[in-house]
Amino acid sequence: MNRSSTLGALRAAGYQSRSVKDELRSNLRRKIRAGAELFPGILGYERTVIPAVVNAILAGHDFILLGLRGQAKTRLLRAMTDYLDDAIPILAGSEINDDPLAPISTWGYKLVAEAGDEAPIDWLTPDERYHEKLATPDVSIADLLGDIDPIKAATRKLTYADPEVIHFGLIPRSNRGIFAINELPDLAPRIQVGLLNLLEERDLQIRGFTVRMPLDLIMAFSANPEDYTNRGSIITPLKDRISSQIMTHYPRDLDVSRRITDQEARLDGASTVRMPDEYRRLIEEIAFVARASELIDQSSGVSARMPISALEILHSNLERRALATGDEPRYPRICDLPMLLPALTGKLEMVYEGEQQGVEVVARQILGEAVKRVFDDRFPEVGREVGSGGEDDTGPYAAITRWFADGNEIELGDQQPFAAYEAELAKVPGLMDLAARYGDSPQARALAAETILEGLHQHLKLARQDLDSGITYKEMVKFQLLHPHRERDESDFI
């Protein structure tokens, strides 16, 4: 439709008004029939959350997304603008987006009455029709609904009984659009009460004014489960008026998690990085291990932002090493993992036992368990006899553990040039020969060799000690004899 500039031209063009919910329903049906992707960029929800949201829109429901942090709730709400019309007409200058054919404000009535078909028209795009508010304890009824504006009354010489002295809040200014409230439980209960009439009767009441304005909008909310937040809860009458409650969740498999991370991570210079599949899996395993850890508060959750941040930090560490050493291509190492701690420690909420150990210690344990999972899936099983150092040790790691049992050790670090790093690994008899089965380049073989050492450490066959940026692998029994009071989960171990 041509964008008419006056009310008369709009009528002549045959424009017909429809509600926001009808608009969303109609456009959604059209996309479903066409087989279009409904929520591009929202991964892992194709058979769970997205069908529930689609059902809520088709039913004309206001809804709430309930889930832990980092589950794409806000992104999903913002994606609803894809189902709004390309543009809708409003009375030019209207604070609450009055429909030219059916204004609801006193100002709108007067404009149409005075200007008639010459009343000016503006057009709103989908993005202009979406408004969002983060709920905080200091949000007031005036912020959301509106209040009397004494300055407007004074400058226009209006009495406080005149509806035109009202300063409208965020919700009425979202009329004919979508209004979303994030973290709804953080909204004070007395403010939540102010939303009851909007959700049920669909009208707006401000202070003592008798005028009631039937707003046309869809309201959507997001919240964490009540057992997560100690800052508040959703009052029961408001829960009852929110027609659909939709539970979100974290990615349920590594492939989906990896796709999300790849989509969201901002990686400068990624073309110069050679990232093997097993190492990318390792980054995703970190989050899965954390979500299963008894030391992590699972009611708080482990955000999908954690592997995203970890991958970004890893790329930065590879860049830093390449700038210092000149090594190309940029290839990851197991000894890069401690550099990921800043991406983990701020995103982990501990239970009491975890707090006693310390968040960094727990994060190092999580890194170690992630390596162990990758090692166990890719390399030969570690038998009980491995590490004895005797003639009965016939496993694939026999030569390696015997060499360490003789008192030898190696030191690796993320600062080493590749030649020095590879030479240090080559000191261990049999290690590079075994690693050669798992890599077709010098960098891939070196990574496989270091993964083997870390896997043996995780299976308690080798000791590992971290000092500054250096990591030393040594024989486990001798290390325990020298450090009888040293626990394996101290901060200098992964």
The per-residue pLDDT for range 439-485, each reduced to its tens digit, is 899 999 999 999 999 999 999 999 999 887 789 999 876 544 444 44
- Rounded distance between C-alpha atoms, residue 92 and residue 101, angstroms: 13
- Kindly state whether residue 358 falls inside one of the protein's structural domains: yes
- Give residue-wise pLDDT tens across range 308-346: 999 999 999 999 999 999 999 999 999 999 999 999 999
The stretch 210-227 carries a mean pLDDT of 82
> Do 400 and 476 belong to one domain?
yes
> Do 258 and 242 belong to one domain?
no
- Give residue-wise pLDDT tens across range 94-144: 999 999 999 988 889 999 999 999 999 999 999 999 999 999 888 988 899
- Among residues 222, 247, 272, the one where a domain terminates is 247
Is 90 exceeded by the pLDDT of residue 210? no
Picking from 278, 195, 271, 202, the residue whose alpha carbon sits closest to that of residue 235 is 195
- Give residue-wise pLDDT tens across range 54-103: 999 999 999 999 999 999 999 999 999 999 999 999 999 999 999 999 99
- Domain of residue 68: give its range: 7-247
Query: Residues 6 or more apart from 195 whose CB is under 8 A from it?
Result: 144, 219, 238, 241
The lowest-confidence range among 264-278, 305-319, 421-435 is 264-278
Q: How far is CA 392 from CA 136, 340, 386, 477, 489, in A?
A: 66, 39, 9, 17, 30
Count the neighbouring beta carbons within 10 Å of the beta carbon of residue 130: 19
- Among residues 214, 247, 280, the one where a domain terminates is 247
The band of 231, judged by pLDDT with boundaries at 50, 70 and 90, is low
- Kindly state whether residue 2 falls inside one of the protein's structural domains: no
- Rounded distance between C-alpha atoms, residue 269 and residue 274, angstroms: 11
Picking from 389, 392, 423, 405, the residue whose alpha carbon sits closest to that of residue 473 is 405
> Do 306 and 401 belong to one domain?
yes
Whether the Cβ atoms of residue 300 and residue 227 lie closer than 8 Å to each other: no
Mean of per-residue pLDDT scores for the chain: 88
The lowest-confidence range among 145-149, 177-181, 316-320 is 145-149
The band of 12, judged by pLDDT with boundaries at 50, 70 and 90, is very high
Is 80 exceeded by the pLDDT of residue 392? no
pLDDT at 492: 44
- Among residues 247, 273, 289, the one where a domain terminates is 247
Q: Would you state the structure tokens that stand for residue 489, as one six-digit string?
A: 């989960």
pLDDT at 200: 80
> Do 268 and 161 belong to one domain?
no
Model's pTM, two decimal places?
A: 0.87
% of the chain surpassing 70 pLDDT: 89
> Do 187 and 258 belong to one domain?
no
- Rounded distance between C-alpha atoms, residue 441 and residue 444, angstroms: 5
The stretch 423-435 carries a mean pLDDT of 95
* 3-class DSSP string for the chain: CCCCCEHHHHHHCCCCCCCHHHHHHHHHHHHHHHCCCCCCCCCCCCCCHHHHHHHHHHCCCCEEEECCCCCCHHHHHHHHHHHCCCCEEEECCCCCCCECCECCCHHHHHHHHHHHHHCEEEEECCHHHEEEEECCCCCCHHHHCEEECHHHHHHHCCCCCCHHHEEECCCHHHCCEEEEEECHHHCCHHHHHCCHHHHHCCEECCCCCCCCEECCEEEEEEECCCCCCCCCCCCHHHHHHCCEEEECCCCCCHHHHHHHHHHHCCCCCHHHECCCHHHHHHHHHHHHHHHHCCCECCCCCCCCHHHHHHHHHHHHHHHHHHHHHCCCCECCCHHHHHHHHHHHHCCCCECHHHHHHCHHHHHHHHHHHHHHHHHHHHCCCCCCCCCCCCCCCCCCCHHHHHHHHCCCCEEEECCCCHHHHHHHHHCCCCHHHHHHHHCCCHHHHHHHHHHHHHHHHHCCCEEEEEECCEEEEEEHHHHHHHCCCCCCCCCCCC
- Amino acid at the residue 218: I
- Rounded distance between C-alpha atoms, residue 362 and residue 412, angstroms: 22
Number of domains in the chain: 2
pLDDT at 299: 86
- Kindly state whether residue 204 falls inside one of the protein's structural domains: yes
Is 50 exceeded by the pLDDT of residue 365? yes
> Do 211 and 320 belong to one domain?
no
The band of 228, judged by pLDDT with boundaries at 50, 70 and 90, is low
The stretch 167-189 carries a mean pLDDT of 92
The band of 160, judged by pLDDT with boundaries at 50, 70 and 90, is low
Whether the Cβ atoms of residue 199 and residue 179 lie closer than 8 Å to each other: no
- Kindly state whether residue 278 falls inside one of the protein's structural domains: yes
- Kindly state whether residue 145 falls inside one of the protein's structural domains: yes
> Do 215 and 197 belong to one domain?
yes
pLDDT at 230: 54
> Do 209 and 317 belong to one domain?
no
Is 60 exceeded by the pLDDT of residue 388? no
In terms of C-beta distances under 8 Å and separation of at least 24 residues, what long-range contacts does 74-79 make, across chains too?
A: 74/132, 74/180, 74/182, 74/222, 75/41, 75/42, 76/39, 76/42, 76/45, 76/49, 76/248, 77/132, 77/178, 77/180, 77/182, 77/220, 77/222, 78/130, 78/132, 78/180, 79/39, 79/40, 79/41, 79/42
The band of 277, judged by pLDDT with boundaries at 50, 70 and 90, is very high
pLDDT at 278: 94
The lowest-confidence range among 196-210, 404-418, 452-466 is 196-210
- Cis peptide bond N-terminal to 51, omega within 30: no
Query: Residues 6 or more apart from 180 whose CB is under 8 A from it?
Result: 74, 77, 78, 130, 131, 132, 133, 219, 220, 221, 222
pLDDT at 476: 76
> Do 240 and 275 belong to one domain?
no
> Do 226 and 261 belong to one domain?
no
Whether the Cβ atoms of residue 70 and residue 304 lie closer than 8 Å to each other: yes
Question: When comparing pLDDT for 51 and 189, which is higher?
Answer: 51
- Give residue-wise pLDDT tens across range 437-449: 998 999 999 999 9
Whether the Cβ atoms of residue 176 and residue 128 lie closer than 8 Å to each other: no
- Kindly state whether residue 491 falls inside one of the protein's structural domains: no
Q: How far is CA 446 from CA 323, 332, 453, in A?
A: 20, 10, 11
- Kindly state whether residue 456 falls inside one of the protein's structural domains: yes
> Do 166 and 288 belong to one domain?
no
pLDDT at 138: 86
pLDDT at 480: 47
The band of 306, judged by pLDDT with boundaries at 50, 70 and 90, is very high
pLDDT at 482: 47
